[in-house]
Amino acid sequence: MIFSKDVIAGKYNVIIKNLRDTQIRELKMFEMYLGDKLVGRVFYFGGRDYYKPWFEIDYHPWPREEGIEIELFRLFYESLEGGSKFFVTYNRDPITASLLERGYHPSETPLGKSLLLSGFTWFKDYYFAEGGNEGFQKLQANKPISKEAGKRELEEMLKEVRDIETRILIQRLIENET
């Protein structure tokens, strides 16, 4: 079982279809559905040696409109160990893409805010794929390695964020960590 739960928001069954191996032993690929609606194609790297597990989803952002995006991302968060990464494409999310293009911090975008509220505390924007194999534009969200590390990452993020509403949110998250 890849995920810790099989139901989101009390009504959407988490369904994995077309699970298959790739050319990398630890890397699996599958389609993720909530009920009968596609959420995205997912890559899951199970980890090897010092490489931590990670997920990448080619994301269809309809769960945001349904008010379940944070709970969906928590499912990924809870399935990862501390220090692991979660990559989410934003090519189908024009608001996030536009804000990032204009220089906003990832946490100031709709996608980044949902990732932040689901527990991730460090972000990187892959606005230009290096080498051609990385796929679409995406955000990298890291799960903190510890509670203390998460607090430090939030404090650093607070220095970079300009949007007052996001600053207040981050400050609240920092206070909850103490």
How do residues 18-72 score in pLDDT, each as one tens digit?
999 999 999 999 999 999 999 999 999 999 998 999 999 999 999 999 999 999 9
Rounded to whole angstroms, how far apart are CA atoms 77 and 23?
25
The DSSP call for residue 134 is S
Rounded to whole angstroms, how far apart are CA atoms 165 and 159?
14
Rounded to whole angstroms, how far apart are CA atoms 82 and 19?
25
Q: Which CATH class is domain 7-146?
A: alpha beta
Mean pLDDT of 98-127: 97
Residue closest to 163 by CA, chosen among 115, 119, 102, 81: 102
Neighbour order of strands in the sheet with 85-89: 7-8, 12-21, 27-34, 37-45, 54-59, 85-89, 138-142, 122-126
Query: pTM of the full predicted structure?
Result: 0.93
